Homo-oligomer: A and B are copies of this chain.
Amino acid sequence: MTEVEAAKKSQESLQDRLAQVVELLHRHKFAEDLAQRQEGDGPDRTFIDDLDQRQNLAELQLRLDELHPADVAHILEALPLDDRLTVWQMVRADRDGDILLEVSDAVRETLIADMDDHELLAAAREMDADELADLAPELPRDVVHELMESLDAQQRERVRSALSYEEDQVGALMDFEMVTIRDDVSLEVVLRYLRRLKELPGHTDKLFVVDYDGVLKGVLPIKRLLVNDPDKQVAEVMANDPVAFHPDENAYDAAQAFERYDLVSSPVVDKNGKLIGRLTIDQMVDLIREESESEVLNMAGLREEEDIFASVWKSVGNRWAWLAINLVTAFIASRVIGLFEGSIERLVALAALMPIVAGIGGNSGNQTITMIVRAMALDQVGTNNTARLLRKELGVSLINGLVWGGVIGGVAWFLYDSWSLGVVMTAAMTLNLLLAALMGVLIPMTLARLGRDPAMGASVMITAMTDSGGFFIFLGLASLFLL
């Protein structure tokens, strides 16, 4: 089945396909259970069950064979661990490698744990150097060793080089499937050369023009190859000054360049301008997806993408750090209230009203920080326009504080029959919203200036500020003016 035909299947919804596999799986399991229970019930029945059983299995296997590796990966991700491993064992061995490359890291770990060294070696043997490098950190040491032994010198060098880069560098994402040509031949010669290759790598929208030392001189977009006179020389038609990346550049910057300039593939060159690999849009799309996911997860205080069917203990591990930090910040907020226990004893309405001040502050602060973090991710704000942004956010907070603080102040007045309590409420709301705006701008800016990820736990931090701050402002004002 070709790539294009496999993709055709995308027309059925993913959920449908998942449901089909689950149904076949459960029928298979049910039959297995039955067979076990009926063992020794007479040869006829067992024979029939056996037949049924084998039919179910065959159908399930057929279904899996038809699916694109990306779809099998999706199904594996959406299955609980026991079902996942049952399906994984039914996947044809020669497809193991493709599927391992498609699943998420968390799920890949569970699949690899279920394979023996022999199976792992077989799966990895089909892979390109860049794919091997992707997988290597998660494989057992001796498997990696044996794999490296089996590679030729060039491949081994490529795997080593890909492994030498950080996960977020261009070098870790590039592949090595480049079609290179010289600039002193005619397009006709290029066309004949391509025909001899029999197959072109995926996402080949341009050929790379190099000199005899492998230095990149330009690129020949396939579009130009097709529309120009075949008698023309490559040098006449190629783009001389193509966008090229360095392997130690930040991969996310490269992804933004792909997005911005609508690129499909792009060469990667070393310091001397020598062509060493290429980036393609499919890897960049995955990266864009991962980046925005990790932003969402980071803001909520989750360490990383979680296998939703991970064991309870794994999930606890993924989440405990921010919960512990939150515990400390909540404890601080609690001690702030503790300072004013005398005031609360004398006016218990304060206890009921204080969470409103803190809560609205937290909500407003989260809106501000979310917007700033996004704008920073898109490079729209740097530390240079902090003052301007701050003025705007403070303005928004002032209006919201006076309007909504006024409303809730009015309600407090009505409920507790005390206009001064209402005024304190309005004032405290306004001040806490101003604090939320201030912190919503300053926290991510400060994190960025310290070289940290501005999204990291942003939500937990801003809430900590607006809770402690809100309690302090409200109870402090109340103690000063009401008691």
Q: CB within 8 Å of B: which residues of A?
A: 2-8, 10-11, 13-15, 18-19, 68, 70-71, 74, 77-78, 80, 191, 194-195, 197-200, 202-205, 219, 221-223, 226-229, 239-244, 253, 256-264, 281-282, 284-286, 288-289, 292-293, 295-297, 299-302, 306, 308-310, 312-313, 315-316, 319-320, 322-324, 326-327, 329-331, 333-335, 337-338, 341, 344-345, 348-356, 358-360, 362-364, 366-367, 370-372, 374-375, 378-382, 384-385, 388-389, 392-393, 395-396, 399-400, 404, 407-408, 411, 415, 459-460, 463, 467, 471
Contacts and interface: CB of A to CB of B under 8 A. Distances in A.
Nearest to A342: B348
Nearest to A265: B264
Contact of A367 (B302, B312, B389): B302
Given A379-B14, A467-B359, A6 B261 contact: yes
B68 A308 contact: no
28 contacts: A4-B241, A5-B239, A7-B243, A74-B379, A77-B378, A77-B380, A194-B226, A195-B227, A198-B227, A199-B223, A288-B289, A295-B296, A296-B296, A297-B371, A297-B374, A308-B389, A310-B392, A322-B363, A324-B404, A326-B360, A334-B356, A335-B352, A338-B352, A341-B351, A344-B348, A348-B351, A350-B351, A355-B358
Contact of A404 (B10, B19, B327): B327
A463 to B, nearest CB: 7
Q: Which 9 A-B pairs have the closest CB atoms?
A: A292-B292, A7-B261, A300-B370, A7-B243, A312-B395, A351-B351, A330-B359, A337-B352, A4-B239
A33 B229 CA distance: 56
A381 B239 CA distance: 47
Contacts of A356: 327, 330-331, 333-334
Contacts of A467: 355, 359
Contacts of A411: 331
Nearest to A470: B355
A367 B219 CA distance: 47
Q: How many copies does the complex hold?
A: 2
Contact of A308 (B198, B261, B375): B375
B460 A243 contact: no
A398 B113 CA distance: 28
A10 B288 contact: no
B285 A323 contact: no
Contacts of A5: 239-242
B219 A200 contact: no
B297 A285 contact: no
A312 B401 CA distance: 13
A356 to B, nearest CB: 4
Main secondary structure of the interface of A (DSSP, over half): helix
A260 B73 CA distance: 10
Given A4-B242, A310-B392, 13 more contacts: A14-B379, A18-B379, A204-B223, A205-B205, A205-B264, A259-B282, A295-B296, A301-B367, A308-B371, A312-B395, A327-B407, A363-B463, A366-B459
Contacts of A293: 292, 374
A7 B300 contact: no
Contacts of A242: 4-5, 7-8
A362 B467 CA distance: 13
Nearest to A370: B300
A367 B203 contact: no
A318 to B, nearest CB: 9
A107 to B, nearest CB: 10
A311 B371 CA distance: 15
Given A10-B243, A355-B358, A367 B259 contact: no
A4, A8, A467 — most chain B CB neighbours (10 Å): A4
A388 B80 contact: yes
A471 B358 CA distance: 14
A330 B230 CA distance: 73
Contacts of A262: 3, 202-203, 282
A348 B347 CA distance: 11
B8 A326 contact: no
Contact of A360 (B285, B327, B459): B327
A227, A241, A322, A348 — most chain B CB neighbours (10 Å): A348
